[in-house]
Structure 1
Amino acid sequence: MLARDWYYNERRRLGLDSAVASIYDRHDDSDLRARAALTMLGVQPGWRLADIGCGNGVLACEAALLGAEVDAIDISPAMLALADIQARDRKVAIRTQPAGLLSFAYKPNSYDLIVSEFTLHHLPDFWKAVALSRIHDALKPGANFYLRDIVFVSTPDGVERDVEQWADFSIKNHDFNRGSVMTHMRDEYSTFGWVIERMLTDAGFTLVSVDYHAPLHGTYLLQKPKTGGQG
């Protein structure tokens, strides 16, 4: 898409240097969790896969180990540097791309799988929908999109309770302090699960499964419909 003066600037909220990026490199079981997700998604040798918001590159590298051709995409140079280190350590080849959901380069109908974890919430809702449309266009017919993000599961009258539960969960399970949760609430763009679900189906995806397994965490498995009788 050509740049326009009204187009959302993904880089304006970058703010990630090596010190911040290292936060995402401290979970010892991240490779096991990535491998389990990729196995569940049925990744095969020769698949073309994009990890948008790849972070430290663990999932991208695990996909490459399974024989996939991987594009590791992130808006942060610090994150891509970590991804390159992961790839060297694991002796696999990945292609890194300094871009985001609104700017990643792709050919239509070219990916067998796209994964995006905890990245979509960086965009306001209008731009979330634009990003989802781009992902739909990039996937091959019948291919899957695996999305995990921070979402509000309940209705608006439950937000205060949900945020407190999420803060407690994050502190106990992810070593994040309360301040990081409060900063997210003030400055980022998480929205309701029922809003995300409507965006996904309106973008053209079939909603295969939804899992709201932890406070303010949503996991979605989507499929781009196979071409059929409609044009």
Structure 2
Amino acid sequence: MLARDWYYNQRRRFGLDNAVAAIYDRHDGSDIRARATLVALGVQRGWKLADIGCGNGVLATEAALMGAEVDAIDISPAMLALADIYARDRKADIRTQPAGLLSFAYRPNSYDLIVSEFTLHHLPDFWKAVALSRILAALKPGAHFYLRDIVFVSMPDGTERDVEEWADFNIKNHDFARDSVVTHMRDEYSTFGWVIERMLTETGFILVSADYHAPLHGTYLLQKPKSDGQAELTGATKLARQEQ
């Protein structure tokens, strides 16, 4: 993407130092969860897959071990260094790319699956839409996009007191750290689930499923329409429909 003075600076709010990366450098069963997700999504040997906002590379590595051709993409050099180490330790072959949602390099209609977890909320809504349009263009017709992100499921009533009560409820009843909730409300660009759903479909995706399993988390399975505009119910799409 060409540099323009009105383009959003992805590096302005993203953690780029080793202190931030160290938060993610832990072994907590994330490899098991990542593999279960990839199996559910029907990942096959030979697929071309992108993990945008790959963090320490756990999901990207698991996909490579399953035989996928993987691009591990992150705006943070520290995160990519961790991803490289993680993949090498497990003898997995991944390609790392220092880029973000607005700048990752791709060939149109080339990916069988794109995954992005807890990354989109870093962008204001206008730039979320730009990022989603780029992801749509990068996918093969009929391919899937798996999105997990921080979203607000319920609405505050509007007054300052009610906003405090709304935040306190999520902190006390759902075991969220106060600093995390405050950060997403004050300093980042988390938005509402209904906004994300409309944005996804307006971008051109077919919304296969939406799961709000916690007040601040949303998981979405999207499909790029086939060239004739019809989405074929195969693979991950069938799975998601059966689970609804």
Task: Report the TM-score, using the length of structure 1 for normalisation.
Answer: 0.92
Partner of 2:168: 164
CA contact (8 A) 2:154 2:215 kept: no
Q: In the TM superposition, what is the alpha-carbon distance from 1:186 to its structure 2 partner?
A: 1.1
For the residues of structure 2 that align with 1:229 and 1:30, how far apart are their CA atoms? 36
Number of residue equivalences = 226
Distance 1:86 1:168, change over 3 A: farther
SS of 1:50's equivalent? strand
Q: In the TM superposition, what is the alpha-carbon distance from 1:5 to its structure 2 partner?
A: 1.7
For the residues of structure 2 that align with 1:165 and 1:117, how far apart are their CA atoms? 24
**Divergent runs of 4+, >3 A:** 158-162
Distance 1:228 1:187, change over 3 A: same
Partner of 2:95: 95
For the residues of structure 2 that align with 1:164 and 1:220, how far apart are their CA atoms? 26
Q: In the TM superposition, what is the alpha-carbon distance from 1:20 to its structure 2 partner?
A: 1.6
**Unaligned residue ranges in structure 2 (runs of 5+):** 231-244
Q: In the TM superposition, what is the alpha-carbon distance from 1:160 to its structure 2 partner?
A: 4.5
Partner of 1:136: 136
Distance 1:168 1:97, change over 3 A: farther
Confirm or deny that 1:147 pairs with 2:147: yes
Partner of 1:65: 65
SS of 1:151's equivalent? strand
Distance 1:169 1:92, change over 3 A: farther
For the residues of structure 2 that align with 1:36 and 1:112, how far apart are their CA atoms? 18
Amino acid at match of 1:200: L
Amino acid at match of 1:167: I
Q: In the TM superposition, what is the alpha-carbon distance from 1:161 to its structure 2 partner?
A: 4.7
**Unaligned residue ranges in structure 1 (runs of 5+):** none
For the residues of structure 2 that align with 1:140 and 1:219, how far apart are their CA atoms? 21
- 1:11-70 deviations in Å (ceiling 9; x for gaps): 112333212212123351100110111001000000000000000000000000000000
- Superposed CA RMSD in Å reads 1.8
For the residues of structure 2 that align with 1:168 and 1:63, how far apart are their CA atoms? 36
Q: Aligned runs of 1:175-190 on 2, under 5 Å?
A: 177-190=177-190
Amino acid at match of 2:205: F
CA contact (8 A) 1:132 1:200 kept: yes
For the residues of structure 2 that align with 1:66 and 1:204, how far apart are their CA atoms? 29
Task: Report the TM-score, using the length of structure 2 for normalisation.
Answer: 0.87
For the residues of structure 1 that align with 2:185 and 2:114, how far apart are their CA atoms? 27
Partner of 1:104: 104
Amino acid at match of 1:214: A
Percent of residue pairs bearing the same amino acid type: 81
Q: In the TM superposition, what is the alpha-carbon distance from 1:4 to its structure 2 partner?
A: 1.7
CA contact (8 A) 1:162 1:215 kept: no
